[in-house]
Structure 1
Amino acid sequence: GPASVSGLSAGAGRDCVLLQEDFLAHRGRPHVYLQRIQLNNPTERVAALQIVGTTAGPLPKAFTSTLEKVGDHQFLLYSGRSTLSPAGQVHLVVIAGKKLVNRLQVAPRSQLDETVLWVVHISDPMSPQVLKSRAAKELKVLQDLARKEMLELLEMPAAELLQDHQHLWAQLFSPGVEMKKITDAHTPSGLTVNLTLYYMLSCSPAPLLSPSLSRREREQMEATLSYEDHCFSGHATMHAENLWPGQLGSVQQILQLSDLWRLTLQKRGCKGLVKAGAPGILQGMVLSFGGLQFTENHLQFQADPDVLHNSYALHGIRYKNDHLDLAVLADAEGRPYLHLAVEARGQPGKIYACEAGCLQEPVELTAAPGGHIFSIMVTQPITPLLYISTDLTHLQDLRHTLHLKAILAHDEHMAQQDPGLPFLFWFSVASLITLFHLFLFKLIYNEYCGPGAKPLFRSKVG
């Protein structure tokens, strides 16, 4: 709960007591919340910390509390029900919380570091009629779960829980999008992209990170995450401003954005990834940003060749047993090219890639530090810019099935897309020149051939 400091008189800045309070939801334990209170007292007097909250104040009428004592540990167990929702349903709620004294004292020139643990278990929604018959049984199940998890947490150092939380977030965020150079106003900034990814991960459960997951369940979930299906089908989302909004002003807007992303991914062949929770949703968002799509035999990069003026990198793309990093970069003359790097995971396997059209022999990819560079070729009709596969024969056969009319370097393609000034401009110039000459001709005609015109030659009268 909120904390207030007393017992000190106002003084200079160096005499201020510093209070920091952090509240976080543990990334790998969906029922666990941590409240960290840090109080630094640099003064010569004792500082008193007054705790105000559920551990100190009166409980809501719908809740009861009991003090649980097991060995050297004791904590409070709150049980009750939520208020009636607009849909006419309620939830049973059980909260286990570490018991704190109402007042903490910090000695002069010392620091207090206290972590308060909370375990929250909530039932499925139910109607008040069903609640009457099932309340006692459901409540006991929730209490047992909360009690068991709280006792497990009390055996762990608080610093270990915090470190585990930070490690899991870093692990979850290892894939991602890196914006390197933006040259237009329609491409989201790096801050916008990373905030959107963070919001979506925060709104999504991550069962794969749970320590209680059995080996079999973990293998099944990993298989779901590795099943590519046909994600992501359709055009890239990089310039979809409603999916990468520059500003979000409320929690409601974040939740609406989360629903929109889930719907978009599900409709674009990413149902399996969405089902896998936060890691799968992040993978789908990374694929969608640049226009990467899995097919039955390969992974293809089908970005629009006309919008490759921005430089960016897609990190941690799962493909079979490997993780890929794909970047769109520009050389010294501003011409775009592709950089592909492989990070082997697990048992190494051969993987190949070829440029648009696959006219050149596919290149075997390695985990070399420098990665691999591919030129950007544009075909007519338009086909993907890069193909990646573990099946060499498939890529070799692919060139015979594309039925291309032409294949151009990217700068040649752009030159054709920009033939110069539009026809209307040249038509206007030609019209002005024609009108000017007609006007000039009229002036000359009126001068010498019109009424009152001067004769061209003078005759002598003898």
Structure 2
Amino acid sequence: MRIEIRKITDAHTPSSRTVNTTLYYILSSSTAPLLESSLSTEERDKLEASLNYADHCFSGHATMHAENLWPERVSGAASLLQLVNLWTLTLQKRACKALVSAGAHGMMQAVTLSFGGLQFTENHLQFQAEPSVLHNSYSLRGLRYHRDRISLSVVADADGRPSLHVSVKPQDEEKPVKLYACEAGCINEPVELTSEPRGHVFPVLVTQPLTPLLYISTDLRHLQDLRHTLHVKAILAHDEHMAKQDPGLPFLFWFSVASLVALFHLFLFKLIYNEYCGPGAKPLFRSKV
């Protein structure tokens, strides 16, 4: 499981180095009960179950742009412990208590979910990142879901239009679990995910009101029924949505410009009037005599 930063186009997204360093701090400060030889089979199965289906983790907005969670530098042991405690508290308050209790393996899963804004629900895994942050390209690999490993990549093209690439790697070849996915609104028939490296490509659609950008589930019927329960009013392409979010300069700006232009012309008219029509004005035409 890992987070890969491919392309950053703003100053608020952490670099690959910052992400890897922060993960090192978190994992090196966590226990790893799954690696303990004294762990009973029952306890191991319980921990594995909590990793394979992570309750409702991660709720809330993505942590990608939470700069206090991804510091470029950590000075001293006290700052490191403060950072780890902040991460632990954040994850616990966002429905990730079970993963935090699972030690390093659970912390890695929870941090990865939180980075992109992924959340488990009772019947599916949903990707609910803010559309405005998808100008960056990154990948979330190895997410556990029903014993399978999901990889999700946000890929922005040369024009900044993002798309979602999703693939799955089954862990049980004898009894593979089928996973299905659909984009925002589930307006199209859900597709079965495959293990192809590039993955299935989904367009980024934005609904009104805003709903998750992607749904993944083992239950095909659930996704088919989901479209009837979202009650969206409109579905826009990502670039259409962003154009509406940034309609241009505000009215006050244009009003100020128009006022300045009008005042300038009034001032110019006054100068011309005083020059030719006011007291002591110059004659318009000079006599040749």
TM-score category, normalised to shorter length: over 0.9
Return the match for 1:227 from 45, 53, 60: 53
Cα distance in structure 1, aligned partners of 2:25 and 2:282:
87
Residue 90 of structure 2 corresponds to which residue in structure 1?
Answer: 264
TM-score of the pair, normalised by structure 1: 0.59
Tell me the amino acid that sits aligned with residue 221 of structure 2: T
Return the match for 2:212 from 354, 372, 384: 384
Cα distance in structure 1, aligned partners of 2:92 and 2:84:
12
Cα distance in structure 2, aligned partners of 1:309 and 1:369:
22
C-alpha displacement at 1:302, in angstroms?
0.5
C-alpha displacement at 1:212, in angstroms?
2.5
Deviating more after overlay: 408-417 vs 234-243: 408-417
C-alpha displacement at 1:389, in angstroms?
0.8
Equivalent positions of 1:39-438 (< 5 A) are: 175-346=1-172, 347-438=175-266
User: Do 1:298 and 1:388's aligned partners in 2 also have CA atoms closer than 8 Å?
Assistant: yes
User: Do 1:322 and 1:345's aligned partners in 2 also have CA atoms closer than 8 Å?
Assistant: yes
SS of equivalent to 1:242: helix
Runs of 4+ in 1 over 4 A off after TM superposition: 454-459
Unaligned runs of 5+ in 1: 1-174
Aligned CA-pair RMSD? 1.7
Percentage identity across paired residues of the two chains: 72
Tell me the amino acid that sits aligned with residue 234 of structure 1: G
User: Do 1:179 and 1:313's aligned partners in 2 also have CA atoms closer than 8 Å?
Assistant: yes
Cα distance in structure 2, aligned partners of 1:406 and 1:248:
45
Residue 100 of structure 1 corresponds to which residue in structure 2?
Answer: none
Cα distance in structure 2, aligned partners of 1:369 and 1:184:
27
User: Do 2:138 and 2:154's aligned partners in 1 also have CA atoms closer than 8 Å?
Assistant: yes
User: Do 2:165 and 2:198's aligned partners in 1 also have CA atoms closer than 8 Å?
Assistant: no
Cα distance in structure 2, aligned partners of 1:458 and 1:374:
79
More strand as a share of residues? 1
Q: Which has the higher contact order (CA 8 A, sep 6+)?
A: 2
Cα distance in structure 2, aligned partners of 1:441 and 1:212:
93
User: Do 1:227 and 1:272's aligned partners in 2 also have CA atoms closer than 8 Å?
Assistant: no
Deviating more after overlay: 278-287 vs 345-354: 345-354
C-alpha displacement at 1:380, in angstroms?
1.2
Cα distance in structure 2, aligned partners of 1:380 and 1:445:
57
C-alpha displacement at 1:232, in angstroms?
0.2
TM-score of the pair, normalised by structure 2: 0.93
Does 2:289 match 1:453?
A: no
Residue 10 of structure 1 corresponds to which residue in structure 2?
Answer: none
User: Do 2:156 and 2:162's aligned partners in 1 also have CA atoms closer than 8 Å?
Assistant: yes
Deviating more after overlay: 366-375 vs 179-188: 366-375
Residue 269 of structure 2 corresponds to which residue in structure 1?
Answer: 441
- Tell me: CA distance 1:195–1:456, structure 2 relative to 1, closer, same or farther (3 Å): closer
C-alpha displacement at 1:454, in angstroms?
5.0
Q: Deviations over 1:322-372 (max 9, x none)?
A: 110101112243311111110101231111100111111111112233311
Count of paired positions: 285
Bigger Cα Rg:
1
Cα distance in structure 2, aligned partners of 1:457 and 1:177:
81
User: Do 2:183 and 2:202's aligned partners in 1 also have CA atoms closer than 8 Å?
Assistant: yes
Unaligned runs of 5+ in 2: none
Cα distance in structure 2, aligned partners of 1:368 and 1:308:
23
Cα distance in structure 2, aligned partners of 1:212 and 1:374:
44
Cα distance in structure 1, aligned partners of 2:180 and 2:47:
27
